[in-house]
Amino acid sequence: MKQQIILGIETSCDETAVAIVRNGNEILSNVVASQIESHKRFGGVVPEIASRHHVEQLTIVLEEAMQQADVTFKDIDAIAVTEGPGLVGALLIGVNAAKAIAFAHSIPLVGVHHIAGHIYANRFISEFQFPLLSLVVSGGHTELVLMKEHGSFEVIGETRDDAAGEAYDKVARTLNLPYPGGPHIDRLAHEGQPTLDLPRAWLEPDSYDFSFSGLKSAVINTLHNAKQRGVEIKPEDLAASFQESVVEVLVTKTKKATQEFKVKQVLLAGGVAANKGLRAKLEETFRSETDVNLVIPPLSLCTDNAAMIAAAGSIAFAKGKTSALGLNANPGLPLTSF
């Protein structure tokens, strides 16, 4: 069988990323230029700065990815690019670059949903076993996605307010920790004890939705009250208590959904998948479930990268789902099946 080579491009937020992937599950190169240092001093991603960095970095990252994979444009079967969701200015840089390459070299173009990409990062670790459930936890999304076959996505639960990563970043900011705060809270949590009583938002009994804004407010109130009473709260204990609340809700709802939908596999996806507490709790919960196969990708595939976009694009392309050269960036793109 002829091998399939996909070029992936991802610029939806603050990573400029290009990757070359063979047959949908083999990484030939995966280059990521992070902008975190440029955004840190502002305490979050500044959209205008992100776009400018993407313009500066994209051709350099593209060249490096193609060199590392030892391919030329003649070898590329399709170009997969994140078309949304994300920051519109940032997305546009990747989409326009992809369109330019597609037009200049007559290569098919495939627009990819960012979350489909995060889910497909798991395919570098394991072949998918359907039906499967993916817990997607990133800076912008918290979703439980049911897949009955390749390219089919059913969102059975999502956050009603803040995403899990957003809650981590906001809590980190109240503790004066640098951006992005998730890894810092994760580190502190392992040095403290969950001694503080923080809420868990279970919502309606049959709901797979999430809500983290109440928890975030509870953390802020707890700190504020302690300060007024002159009581000292150890940041490590606050981080441990916050993390326990987030992880308990995420894992409990994931477990319940695996039972209801009788899934064979659970995939973890998105930047918060790097969280040590979440990884440990998922492993502990599913280790005894011999009929559920838990897949947790390495950290480099959990945070934004282009290999995951190429992996999702590979399946879409194989199904004949290509995009016209009029493809536009869509910051509010819904996750639909392909």
Q: Is 138 or 323 the residue whose CB approaches Zn ion more closely?
A: 138
In the bound state, the residue with its beta carbon closest to ligand KG4 is 271
Q: Candidates 38-46, 90-98, 219-227, 303-311 — which segment interacts with Zn ion by CB under 5 A?
A: 303-311
Question: In 3-state terms, what secondary structure has residue 15?
Answer: strand
Binder among 21, 28, 240, 272 for ligand KG4 (CB under 6 A): 272
Residues 262 and 268: their CA atoms lie apart, in Å, by: 17
CB of 148 to Zn ion, least distance (A): 24
Binder among 124, 128, 153, 168 for ligand KG4 (CB under 6 A): 168
Binder among 84, 304, 312, 338 for Zn ion (CB under 5 A): 304
Q: Candidates 54-62, 159-167, 220-228, 302-310 — which segment interacts with Zn ion by CB under 5 A?
A: 302-310
Helix, strand, coil percentages in the chain from 3-state DSSP, rounded to 5: 45, 20, 35
116: Cα separation from own chain's centroid: 9
Binder among 183, 190, 237, 293 for ligand KG4 (CB under 6 A): 183
Q: Does 274 bind ligand KG4 (CB under 6 A)?
A: yes
Q: Does 140 bind ligand KG4 (CB under 6 A)?
A: yes
Q: Does 138 bind ligand KG4 (CB under 6 A)?
A: yes
CB of 180 to Zn ion, least distance (A): 12
Q: Are 314 and 21 in contact (CB under 8 A)?
A: yes
Q: Is 24 or 271 the residue whose CB approaches ligand KG4 more closely?
A: 271
Binder among 265, 303, 314, 323 for ligand KG4 (CB under 6 A): 303
Binder among 271, 292, 310, 313 for ligand KG4 (CB under 6 A): 271
Look-up of token digits 């994931």? 254
Residues 175 and 33: their CA atoms lie apart, in Å, by: 28
Residues 192 and 38: their CA atoms lie apart, in Å, by: 30
Torsion, CA 250, CA 256, CA 258, CA 259, rounded to 10 = 170
Number of shown-chain residues binding ligand KG4 (CB under 6 A): 19
CB of 273 to ligand KG4, least distance (A): 8
117 binds, among ligand KG4, Zn ion, none (CB under 5 to 8 A by kind): none
Site for Zn ion in 125-164 (CB under 5 A): 138
What HEC string does 281-319 produce? HHHHHHHCCCCCEEECCCHHHHCCCCHHHHHHHHHHHHC
Q: Does 169 bind Zn ion (CB under 5 A)?
A: no
CB of 218 to ligand KG4, least distance (A): 18
Q: Are 243 and 193 in contact (CB under 8 A)?
A: no
Identify whether 334 is preceded by a cis peptide bond (ω within 30 of 0). no
Residues 266 and 122: their CA atoms lie apart, in Å, by: 10
Q: Are 294 and 3 in contact (CB under 8 A)?
A: no
Q: Are 275 and 247 in contact (CB under 8 A)?
A: yes
- Binding residues for ligand KG4, rule: CB under 6 A, are 13, 138-140, 165, 168-169, 180-183, 186, 270-272, 274-275, 303-304
- Binding residues for Zn ion, rule: CB under 5 A, are 138, 304
